[in-house]
Chains A and B, each alone.
Chain A
Amino acid sequence: DSGVTQTPKHLITATGQRVTLRCSPRSGDLSVYWYQQSLDQGLQFLIHYYNGEERAKGNILERFSAQQFPDLHSELNLSSLELGDSALYFCASSDRQDLRRAFFGQGTRLTVV
């Protein structure tokens, strides 16, 4: 158990819909990273938050957004969903003592039908 919790584990939704994925980092970790894993693109970085502030953006679509709340949990919002958004979405938190050490959650598998 990495200590990073993601909910839900599985999500099936229709095209055009909006979903919210949730991530609770390990206790004490301030950084949350979101990644998308798909067959086409592999593992890609989406966005990074540190202590409530956005720090870096990767290949995140404009239809996607994220935020980190005062209790440090983070949510990834995906809207106007397309079939190609079907993927495994991971979040990771960085060890506060060693920022190079990331701990991954088990992921949310999103299926868009």
Chain B
Amino acid sequence: GNSVTQMEGPVTLSEEAFLTINCTYTATGYPSLFWYVQYPGEGLQLLLKATKADDKGSNKGFEATYRKETTSFHLEKGSVQVSDSAVYFCALSVWGGGSQGNLIFGKGTKLSVKP
């Protein structure tokens, strides 16, 4: 079946530190890959996405590259800010074979950035 595994948190960093959150996936077919962010008390917001192998998604200084050979989609940011503190979810969706684009999520990684 389809699944997503992401590194467990929490992750605590100092401001301006480098961030990596690892994500690997298992999927039948050709998944699209996503990172969503959830700020306290809010819904999920799409951070970035990639729809085919070697695509790089980027937004607000965050980047992730769709690596089919390693089935990975690691999230990176060169210099985190306090405002990046949130929970980050890696997710995939597949169309076809009974799937209709519903998202399959990892368990989430809580990031805390200290000043």
Task: List residues of A whose CB falls within 8 A of some B CB.
Answer: 2, 4, 31, 33, 35, 42-45, 48, 50, 55-56, 58, 90, 92, 94, 99-107
Contact = CB atoms under 8 A, between A and B. Distances in A.
Contacts, number: 56
Contacts of B93: 100
Given A56-B98, A100-B32, A100-B93, A45 B44 contact: no
A19 B105 CA distance: 26
B89 A45 contact: no
Interface of B: 32, 36, 42-46, 49, 51, 89, 93, 95, 98-108
B42 A106 contact: yes
A106 B101 contact: no
Contacts of B101: 31, 33, 48, 94, 99-100, 102
B55 to A, nearest CB: 12
10 contacts: A31-B101, A42-B105, A43-B103, A56-B98, A94-B101, A100-B49, A100-B101, A101-B49, A102-B46, A106-B42
A104 B102 contact: no
Nearest to A107: B43
Contact of A2 (B43, B95, B105): B43
B58 to A, nearest CB: 15
B108 A104 contact: no
Contacts of A48: 100-102
Given A44-B105, A92-B103, 10 more contacts: A2-B43, A42-B105, A43-B89, A45-B102, A56-B98, A90-B44, A100-B51, A101-B49, A102-B46, A102-B101
Given A90-B44, A101-B49, A104-B43, A56 B89 contact: no
